[in-house]
Structure 1
């Protein structure tokens, strides 16, 4: 059967950079699925895209569907025939609806999706031309692209990220014809808007990317990224520097241009007197420029912008870039000098004018809570209480500075620099920046004891406050970034190896809100712990821990790092025969105990009860020391020494004795052992 290549290109006005790759992924997955469902499976599918176009190419699509036998299932046999075997109205209606006679009905057992005997019709379906099928499925795919934000444009009815300007759809060398909201598909595409704007006819779909490159459009995203990276690296080296590594910026700029042309520019050295993060943020977030640093990582007074055109005279573009950047940096330098006229401490009372949340008070209220919560955390992790309190007192003050008002990305960072200039302790100053960390997935976490303390306090205050006020995330909606707060808390505790019981801190945070007359849900603490553990479950799974391992350790404690260590110990041991012996031993002890059994005071009687109990006392003593050291691997192996005594007990003693007192004594013995050993993990959750 002949196979053809398929091209679909959706030409648009400028798409946001972040929309392009998710849309292409959807196009690839959706097209493959639709082709497969219609018996037109391709050998492979590739995508490409720019801000002006989304492209998907499917290779080796059958020109015609194969002829195939189709089974049409109707009513059950019981419904299709009466007691005498005559066809009922249900059978007659089904046959008539399919253009068949009752004599053509057959009986089938357990057809797809059903159980039992049904009547059906078998028929030969002749394959349709692929172009006919594609004219229906391509519009469905295009109109189903799930952009983060879409709207109707002008008088159009279609909701899309940006207005569609053209649609190119070609199978082999023929146009796949369809229409979407007045836009007809064709075999015509367009090159670069300025360098080659004339329409051109598409040839073979496999050669389309090359056709675009001949017209100054680099549609291959990875190739475009490589051109940018090589270009900016060469330009940075020309002034004795290197590009400040920033994968996110590289990805964003790649999807802002069709024909990248890097241009080197410079700015006045006086702006290097600003904290280095200021020019870097101005260049990245406001101008999409790459920063240049020296070999030691110190910022140089150069930048690299990426134009979307090969200019006749790049000097004109460079001067424009420099003019815009100079204005921004001049503003930043002015803000910096103005901000220095007041110390952070002087600004703290004015935080009463910033609302944290209408139900949770002002930023001053939050500051007062952190002043007590951060020292409580510091005390538990051997940090300095006074420094933690001081850091908490001034950590939000930079929100009132001109610099942060203009460049919100610098909150915390400017607080650190202003604190140092105010003469604050270095660890206190660092904590101001660190308490916002991590800001996003993969970001660094707080490093100093005071920074860790304030970061944890900040996240606990946010979580208990918003969850207690009824703002727990639902579905994909998380307006107060509570998932990010929980994940940030988990990352900090695990990466910094901080063992910390969360329950008393959450309870304390709850009480601090209550003292400020903020009424939170009475179940806020339990709901917050549950919310954090749900996020922790995902983190552990992402780190490669097996589902049953995660389920075994989560209920044991509210200490995140401790849970991580237990999971680690289980996964190290679970492949060994020794661990299997531990599991078997524990299950024999646990499984026989009735769910609601209440133990009684007991004194072991008889050889097997006494031997088991005495060995348990010895094991318990060793376990206490091992658990104190958090040596969970050795603790689990220590349980193994109970095995011969447990086996002897069950082989020689009737636990569920007819004498109620004897039964309760023996169950109480086992319950005492089980309660102690279940402090390590829930053995019943682990699959052998």
Structure 2
């Protein structure tokens, strides 16, 4: 058994590409080893900004021998009358690379027994490793020099070792060797790695911590010590930490300071330049609420000249915060409403017009949605007012510099204007919520109304303009918007009809944009199918159950979730009753498919069970129309009795056509009863 190291050395790779590349490289290596019949004990992958590393432990000396039996032609066609191999058998042996001695006869067929002696580990690895390198996928690739190879970044070296031996191979841009490179500024520009056993130690001596989890732990420990010294709390950000882990090879954290006068501007204006522009961690006070005039950052290097590095970071942040304060103070000189005119020059979408026109639609739509959902007049008025101001910050100086703050800074401007109450200001921020999966939902009723209005207007408007998500393309984030609508309705226990809200949004669009409102409404409603499917699967419902449930409709997301919960509980706790419904439905549905559109004629009944089933069906329609899901399921269970009696007493496919079709119509009406709950046919 031996250990293998493959290091792909490159120019700095974007941090966001590396986690997926590590996962793919590990999976590909495991698959390749298994397919090559080369046993191993473990595969690990590591990454720094300049290298991808594959570490395979306990790799066997040779492939396992292959013993395989392949069936060929029948004995009758394999041999001639004298028992000699004919053309069919000779062709089979040639295709399998075997000789007559490898052929056996069993159960009337010839079988070829193939044996392949395993190749040496080095032979296998020489072929495998280049493929692993070249088959990695990245979101973006590039070419360099005169090479034809496309890769995430130029490859400058390849280290490939099995224990202390180089695994020789080449690709277009490099040949494998035992040479690696240290930290760009602190380590050796090139050095020979003695063996796999010394690889990690030698890299560490050259200021490269290869393991990303080790770097993560180092960063977290250093940050915590510094924030404790500062007497505050670290504002944790897993995404920022993940990015920094893949930006450095030798991490050293440091604490910087800035003028506490900047704490007078909104905290978002301090945090955003830190995180989004400089990759700094803000520091909260001991209570974890207000900001301290401090930040934490991670240097890619040692603590040498740390004061110089700290001063440089403080100087860069000072410039950023000064810009932010200047833009903020300039923006405060203008009332939010006065920016409305500027929105006329901002195009939302070519066919949907400007952002100003969208604002106009939002005001009307927010009022209609508020009324449709039964909110009080004060709440609706706040939502409509917030709709008027919701997009005004898009043309502010701050959002121009920090687009991440749209809505967030809008709330501040509306709140400080003195023209509106806090509910309006908060709704301005909340109308973008949720901004991403798992994000907070609007906390206020006005914010909820406006968030729904904004999302419905965007989705319906884009569909009307011919813009639909395709594959990975979703430039207007319509999937996210639809998921947000579903989350808001379910979380806030709002029993709303998607179709009704979609229709309101359609009515708000320019009339010349909508040729067929009904068709557009159906198209948009179907778009919510996958969003509901995702929500249901997150509850661990199986795919078949979800398919059956959604086939009965999902217009009311809240009611759909409740229906799913009750039906799943019923099928789990009352298995026999639920199975009875399914079996009865299956029996009836198999025959009901042969029915036509004829109505049931009681005069054609010639057995009491027909009338009893007819009466039971009518009773269900009358009594269960507005009943709950649990009651409907129990009623379907009871209905199994007259249906079974019907099947026992009569021949459905009677030779008399009118009687036959009348009985089929009875079964057709029965199968229609549970369609408001689920498509029971899919559950069978």
TM-score (norm 2): 0.90
> Does 2:145 match 1:148?
no
Match of 1:322 in 2: 314
CA contact (8 A) 1:170 1:205 kept: yes
The 1:32–1:677 alpha-carbon spacing in structure 2 relative to 1, beyond 3 Å, is closer
Per-residue deviation at 1:248?
0.9
CA contact (8 A) 2:592 2:668 kept: yes
Q: Please list, as runs of the form range in 1=range in 2, the aligned pairs for 1:252-263 lying within 5 A after superposition.
A: 252-263=243-254
Match of 1:578 in 2: 577
Whole-angstrom distance in 2 between the partners of 1:464 and 1:82: 73
Per-residue deviation at 1:242?
0.7
The 1:108–1:354 alpha-carbon spacing in structure 2 relative to 1, beyond 3 Å, is farther
> Does 2:640 match 1:643?
yes
Per-residue deviation at 1:163?
1.4
Range moving further from structure 2, 648-657 or 216-225? 648-657
Match of 2:437 in 1: 441
CA contact (8 A) 2:600 2:666 kept: no
> Does 2:338 match 1:346?
yes
Whole-angstrom distance in 2 between the partners of 1:622 and 1:487: 35
CA contact (8 A) 2:179 2:191 kept: yes
The 1:21–1:468 alpha-carbon spacing in structure 2 relative to 1, beyond 3 Å, is same
CA contact (8 A) 2:585 2:671 kept: yes
Q: Secondary structure at the match of 1:151?
A: coil
Whole-angstrom distance in 1 between the partners of 2:395 and 2:79: 82
Whole-angstrom distance in 2 between the partners of 1:156 and 1:392: 54
Aligned residues: 674
Match of 1:539 in 2: 535
2:21 counterpart (23, 29, 42): 23
1:276 counterpart (249, 267, 277): 267
The 1:58–1:573 alpha-carbon spacing in structure 2 relative to 1, beyond 3 Å, is same
CA contact (8 A) 2:427 2:444 kept: yes
Per-residue deviation at 1:675?
3.0
CA contact (8 A) 2:613 2:643 kept: yes
CA contact (8 A) 1:263 1:306 kept: yes
> Does 2:451 match 1:455?
yes
Match of 1:113 in 2: none
Match of 1:289 in 2: 280
Match of 1:494 in 2: 490
Range moving further from structure 2, 464-473 or 259-268? 464-473
> Does 2:218 match 1:227?
yes
Match of 1:548 in 2: 544
Match of 1:360 in 2: 352
Range moving further from structure 2, 462-471 or 617-626? 617-626
Match of 2:557 in 1: 560
The 1:393–1:76 alpha-carbon spacing in structure 2 relative to 1, beyond 3 Å, is farther
The 1:660–1:374 alpha-carbon spacing in structure 2 relative to 1, beyond 3 Å, is farther
Per-residue deviation at 1:263?
0.7
Match of 1:626 in 2: 627
Deviations 1:243-271 (A, max 9, x none): 11211111111111111111111222222
CA contact (8 A) 2:653 2:660 kept: yes
The 1:107–1:364 alpha-carbon spacing in structure 2 relative to 1, beyond 3 Å, is farther
Range moving further from structure 2, 212-221 or 634-643? 634-643
> Does 2:394 match 1:399?
yes
Q: Secondary structure at the match of 1:494?
A: helix
Whole-angstrom distance in 2 between the partners of 1:579 and 1:97: 55
Match of 1:593 in 2: 592
1:464 counterpart (455, 460, 463): 460
Match of 2:473 in 1: 477
Match of 1:334 in 2: 326
Per-residue deviation at 1:340?
1.5
1:67 counterpart (59, 65, 68): 65
The 1:470–1:255 alpha-carbon spacing in structure 2 relative to 1, beyond 3 Å, is same
The 1:68–1:515 alpha-carbon spacing in structure 2 relative to 1, beyond 3 Å, is closer
Match of 2:235 in 1: 244
Per-residue deviation at 1:57?
0.7
Whole-angstrom distance in 2 between the partners of 1:585 and 1:142: 58
Q: Secondary structure at the match of 1:337?
A: helix
Match of 2:523 in 1: 527
> Does 2:297 match 1:305?
yes
Per-residue deviation at 1:634?
4.3
> Does 2:180 match 1:189?
yes
Q: Please list, as runs of the form range in 1=range in 2, the aligned pairs for 1:376-391 lying within 5 A after superposition.
A: 376-383=368-375, 384-391=379-386
Per-residue deviation at 1:134?
1.2
Per-residue deviation at 1:20?
0.9
Whole-angstrom distance in 1 between the partners of 2:381 and 2:81: 90
CA contact (8 A) 2:160 2:166 kept: yes
Q: Please list, as runs of the form range in 1=range in 2, the aligned pairs for 1:42-57 lying within 5 A after superposition.
A: 42-57=40-55
CA contact (8 A) 1:57 1:206 kept: no
Match of 2:425 in 1: 429
2:408 counterpart (410, 413, 429): 413
Whole-angstrom distance in 1 between the partners of 2:512 and 2:293: 49
Range moving further from structure 2, 230-239 or 254-263? 230-239
CA contact (8 A) 2:258 2:294 kept: yes
TM-score (norm 1): 0.89
Question: Which runs of 5 or more residues in structure 2 are unaligned?
Answer: none
Whole-angstrom distance in 2 between the partners of 1:614 and 1:428: 57
The 1:467–1:515 alpha-carbon spacing in structure 2 relative to 1, beyond 3 Å, is closer
Whole-angstrom distance in 2 between the partners of 1:551 and 1:225: 42
Match of 1:513 in 2: 509
Q: Please list, as runs of the form range in 1=range in 2, the aligned pairs for 1:53-202 lying within 5 A after superposition.
A: 53-69=51-67, 103=100, 106=103, 122-202=113-193
Range moving further from structure 2, 492-501 or 390-399? 492-501
CA-based RMSD of the aligned residues comes to: 3.1
CA contact (8 A) 2:593 2:668 kept: no
Range moving further from structure 2, 345-354 or 648-657? 648-657
Per-residue deviation at 1:448?
2.1
Per-residue deviation at 1:146?
0.4
